[in-house]
Amino acid sequence: MRITEAEVIVCSPGRNFVTLKITTDDGVSGIGDATLNGRELAVAGYLTEHIVPLLIGRDAAAIEDTWQYLYHGAYWRRGPVTMSALSAVDMALWDIKGKALGVPVHQLLGGPSREAVLVYGHANGADIEETVAAVGRYLAMGYRAVRAQTGVPGLRGVYGVGRGELYYEPAEKGLPSEERWSTEKYLNVVPELFRVLRETYGHDVHLLHDGHHRMTPIQAAWLGQRLEDSRLFWLEDATPAEHQQSFRQLRSHTTTPLAVGEIFNSVHDCSTLIAEQLIDYIRTPPARAGGITGVRKIAGFAEVYGVRTGFHGATDLSPVAMAAALQVDLAIPNFGIQEYMRHTAETDAVFPHEYTFAEGFLHPGTAAGLGVEIDEEAAARYPYERAYLPVNRLEDGTVHPW
């Protein structure tokens, strides 16, 4: 089974997506997600100019060898552009292998370890009252785990506070917008938000929160301590993720469970965090880790140390990335939870998929391969539109992690 064609499809059904479609000489094709929010065309160019010529003629069945060839062969390994491109190739090859053998990819990964995949949704509001009401709406839809983010008095455009009810999309068309930030103001509201949420909904629902890499270790420790009685499922990205050592300090101060890793690309980015058991959940998804092959290396390492997965699943990860994540989620022993931000109807129409939501769980379905397709005619109706994530500044104008 030789690769005869590899095509990069860029489309924007509500937001930008980059998809790689690989076709073999026996007519089987597979797809992979290569979307990197705000830097999409860098990955598209990396694929078209540097990867596609290497794929033509290769054995589509040799997934691990292709992974090693592209990872080590480049010499310049890791980094989000390289690894998003490698992720797309790898997903497409697993899709092809599943289709060629007539089985869903989770069967190739050892078969299901669970009946379905626990997911968390995103509730947010301009203030505590609105956010509490939004959590209630997710519970009414059947969710058992909800992430809660609230607006902060005195700050405009806070991370995680959306413009629509179900769809949170931080990237905006045109050049980047700028937000203003104060960690001190943020810390004034978050403990109270979770106190009110527990008072309103009790302890039977899992509650999560994302700090989005904005706190110092000491600020995060303070917050982690204040949240202990609210028993969060996790506090995510408390500190800038580049600093693995920050987690030693944080961990020694709080028993609030910790998650990190959506911006990591390999096991090397989290080896200290995992081996020292400084985190509870690793969030690096197949779309960033070099596909299913890459994420298996991280998940396997994490399993050894009792760290569970909680893959990133924001709207900038296309339904192709979601389908790939769900295949892994269903199969691995140390699955924890899967983030699930719903895509818009236009996106779902361009990427028809087999995965289904019921009572707070997703199931990847039993179709052969990943269980997702791209409707290329529909995709062609939505050309790329330049869009960026916002840039963040402190109240005095200093650039701060967004």
- For the purposes of burial, counting CB atoms within 10 Å of the CB of 96, is it exposed (0-12), middle (13-18) or buried (19 or more)? buried
| Cα(377)–Cα(372) distance, integer angstroms | 16
| Cα(35)–Cα(192) distance, integer angstroms | 36
| Annotated catalytic residue 159 | yes
Which among 138, 159, 355, 382 is annotated as catalytic?
A: 159
Instruction: Give Cβ neighbours of residue 363 (< 8 Å, ≥ 6 apart).
Output: 115, 116, 117, 326, 330, 355, 356
Q: What x/- string results for residues 204 through 223 when contact with Mg ion is judged by CB under 5 A?
A: ------x-------------
Residue 177 CB, shortest distance to Mg ion, in Å, is: 19
**Size of interface with ligand GCO, in residues (CB under 6 A):** 10
Q: Decide which of ligand GCO, Mg ion, none touches 37; Cβ closer than 5 to 8 Å per partner kind.
A: ligand GCO
Which among 209, 212, 312, 363 is annotated as catalytic?
A: 212
DSSP strands (E only) in 34-116: none
Residue 167 CB, shortest distance to ligand GCO, in Å, is: 12
Residue 135 CB, shortest distance to ligand GCO, in Å, is: 16
Sites for ligand GCO among residues 305-334 (CB under 6 A): 312, 314, 316
Instruction: Give Cβ neighbours of residue 22 (< 8 Å, ≥ 6 apart).
Output: 3, 5, 6, 29, 30, 31, 32, 55, 60, 89, 92, 93, 96
| Annotated catalytic residue 355 | no
| Cα(164)–Cα(160) distance, integer angstroms | 11
Of 15, 144, 212, 308, which lies in the binding site for ligand GCO, with binding defined by CB under 6 A? 212
170 binds ligand GCO (CB under 6 A): yes
Q: What x/- string results for residues 23 through 42 when contact with ligand GCO is judged by CB under 6 A?
A: --------------x-----
| Cα(308)–Cα(332) distance, integer angstroms | 10
| Cα(207)–Cα(261) distance, integer angstroms | 19
Instruction: Give Cβ neighbours of residue 228 (< 8 Å, ≥ 6 apart).
Output: 254, 255, 256
Instruction: CB nearer to ligand GCO: give 98 or 170.
Output: 170
280 binds Mg ion (CB under 5 A): no
Residue 389 CB, shortest distance to ligand GCO, in Å, is: 6
Instruction: CB nearer to ligand GCO: give 97 or 209.
Output: 209
Instruction: CB nearer to ligand GCO: give 339 or 354.
Output: 339
Burial 251-278 (b: 16+ CB within 10 A, else e): beebebbbbbbbbbbbbebbeebbeeeb
Instruction: CB nearer to ligand GCO: give 210 or 373.
Output: 210
Q: Which residues bind Mg ion (CB under 5 A)?
A: 210
Catalytic residues: 159, 212
Q: Which residues bind ligand GCO (CB under 6 A)?
A: 37, 170, 210, 212, 262, 312, 314, 316, 339, 389
